[in-house]
């Protein structure tokens, strides 16, 4: 008969169980912390290999500009450097300072030197950089990371995109960068730059893509890449790389209030840059597509007045005479919603789309007109060197003035002024007080040609349209101010 065995058990006090559980919990937390830190460390990018592979094709660019004109009549500095050193500091500052009538240094005005960055895109020595890096330079020297210094000549520039193409003289079998596709960039992905900020050669900085398609006031034809990569003076013209070691942009500008990096940098997309490069290399100039319209942003009030559910598109404020847009039937008040199948979200989207279209090609536009979508086909022309704009301020009285309930006084538009502005008619604002018109931004001397999508050719038209305006609802008002057409939003 088997024996029964009794096993004695002992119960641990409750406080000891709590201690054990607390210790186990603490250990698990520590394990999780160390594990998460390890994962985070492993997820951060390592740029060392990419920098080693690509530094050879990045160059430092130094320029020299000889002083032109500006002869002060003093015949140069009357003292040499040794004599200057023996003078009191006040006199040294006077003769050397920028305000000096002797050119700022012994011997008269000295050459101006500047520095920037660039990168080699072909083994025979073509280099891309910014136009502002080499603008006006008399001598250009390219320095490679193996410390070779080679003279370079300027092949061509494109100030509209701030691009310049150089050619290293006697260049042969030089290292080149890998060119990527900026259109494949995503907001949030890692990028890095190699350049010479403040003259510190081959400085590497890194960050992420902050935004795409940024429009800056001075460059309407470049959809800039915005990054938080540290860019400073001397980085201009240098490459922006992705994590595949491909160039996706040319570092060009920064937003700053201090003169240095503040977290917002802008790069020219490499797709646009290579298009400019090929045109300069092959034909010595850059041709861009031209539509021939003046456009403005569609804000919430304008969207409401034109029947859009949300703000989008580019509002055509004026169609230039004899332009491709006029020949295609585009009208002021049209809102361009699509260009060749690509949606136009902001008015700044349209100029780069048109600019990169080859001259002579036909583009398909989808526009909103009278609340309905209309498709137009336009043959793209070549962007003129300078935009032609007429500007003339409205002149004196022509009788028949009228005071309107919108808070402004108007008069008929003189025929000669209508002809000069290229409009069939309208009314001139002669006086304005507090009211809906003032709040909309209408000012004296503005010419009103349209209200609530109805044409205004005379004072009678103005009175009729104003009398029928819906109360409390936003309506569009088209004005011509100093020769430029503009849409405003008014709430009667």
162 is catalytic: yes
Please check whether residue 200 is in contact with residue 238, taking contact to mean a CB–CB distance below 8 angstroms.
no
Catalytic residue among 236, 252, 265, 347: 236
DSSP 225: E
Reference 489, options 309, 334, 299; nearest CA is 299
Tell me which of 162, 201, 349, 461 is the catalytic residue: 162
Q: Which of 128, 488, 402 is nearest to 277 (CA)?
A: 128
Please, are residues 412 and 447 in contact by the beta-carbon 8 Å criterion?
no
The burial of 89, by beta-carbon neighbours within 10 Å (0-12 exposed, 13-18 middle, 19 or more buried), is given as exposed
Distance from the Cα of residue 279 to its chain's centroid: 21
Local structure of 383: helix, strand or coil: coil
Q: What angle do CA 480, 486, 489 make, to 5 degrees?
A: 115
Give the Cβ contact number of residue 351 at 10 Å. 23
Residues in the chain: 492
Q: Which residues contact 352 (CB under 8 A, 6 or more apart)?
A: 213, 220, 221, 222, 223, 272
**Annotated active-site residue in 122, 132, 215, 340:** 132
Coil, strand or helix: which one is 98?
coil
CA distance 485 to 483: 7
- In DSSP notation, 420-489 reads HHT-S--EEEEEE-SSHHHHHT--TT-EEEEETTEE--SHHHHHHHHHTPPTTS-EEEEEEETTEEEEEE
Q: 93 catalytic, yes or no?
A: no
Catalytic residue positions?
132, 162, 236
């Amino acid at each position: 008969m088997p024996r029964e065995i009794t096993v004695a058990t002992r119960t641990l006090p409750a406080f000891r169980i709590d201690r054990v559980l607390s210790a186990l919990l603490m250990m698990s937390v520590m394990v999780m912390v160390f594990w998460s830190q390890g994962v985070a460390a492993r997820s951060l990018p390592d740029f060392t290999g990419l920098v080693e592979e690509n530094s050879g094709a990045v160059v430092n660019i130094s320029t020299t500009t000889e002083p032109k004109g500006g002869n002060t009549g003093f015949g140069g500095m009357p003292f040499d450097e040794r004599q200057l050193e023996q003078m009191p500091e006040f006199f040294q500052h006077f003769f050397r300072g920028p305000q000096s009538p002797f050119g700022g240094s012994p011997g008269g005005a000295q050459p101006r030197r500047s520095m920037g960055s660039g990168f080699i895109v072909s083994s025979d020595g073509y280099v891309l950089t910014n136009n502002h890096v080499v603008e006006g330079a008399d001598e250009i020297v390219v320095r490679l990371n193996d410390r070779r210094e080679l003279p370079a000549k300027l092949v061509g520039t494109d100030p509209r995109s701030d691009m310049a193409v150089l050619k290293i003289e006697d260049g042969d079998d030089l290292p080149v960068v890998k060119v990527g596709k900026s259109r494949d960039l995503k907001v949030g992905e890692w990028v890095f730059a190699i350049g010479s900020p403040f003259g510190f050669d081959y400085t590497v900085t890194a960050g992420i893509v902050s935004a795409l398609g940024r429009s800056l006031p001075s460059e309407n034809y470049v959809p800039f890449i915005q990054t938080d990569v540290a860019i400073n003076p001397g980085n201009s013209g240098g490459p922006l790389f992705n994590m595949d070691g491909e160039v996706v942009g040319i570092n060009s500008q920064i937003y700053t209030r201090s003169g240095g990096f503040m977290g917002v940098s802008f790069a020219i997309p490499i797709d646009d840059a290579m298009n400019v490069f090929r045109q300069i290399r092959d034909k010595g100039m850059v041709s861009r597509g031209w539509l021939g319209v003046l456009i403005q942003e569609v804000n919430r009030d304008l969207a409401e007045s034109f029947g859009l559910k949300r703000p989008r598109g580019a509002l055509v404020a004026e169609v230039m005479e004899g332009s491709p847009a006029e020949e295609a039937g585009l009208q002021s008040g049209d809102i361009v919603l699509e260009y060749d199948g690509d949606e136009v979200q902001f008015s700044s989207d349209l100029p780069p789309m048109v600019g990169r279209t080859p001259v002579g090609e036909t583009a398909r536009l989808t526009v909103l007109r009278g609340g309905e979508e209309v498709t137009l086909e336009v043959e793209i022309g070549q962007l003129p060197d300078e935009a032609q704009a007429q500007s003339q301020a409205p002149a004196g009285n022509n009788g028949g003035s009228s005071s309107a309930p919108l808070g402004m006084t108007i008069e008929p538009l003189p025929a000669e002024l209508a002809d000069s502005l290229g409009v069939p008619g309208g009314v001139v604002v002669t006086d304005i007080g507090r009211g809906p018109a003032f709040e909309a931004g209408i000012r004296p001397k503005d010419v009103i040609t349209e209200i609530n999508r109805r044409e205004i050719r005379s004072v009678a038209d103005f009175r009729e349209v104003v009398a029928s305006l819906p109360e409390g609802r936003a309506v569009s008002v088209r004005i011509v101010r100093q020769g430029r057409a503009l849409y405003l939003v008014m709430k009667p």
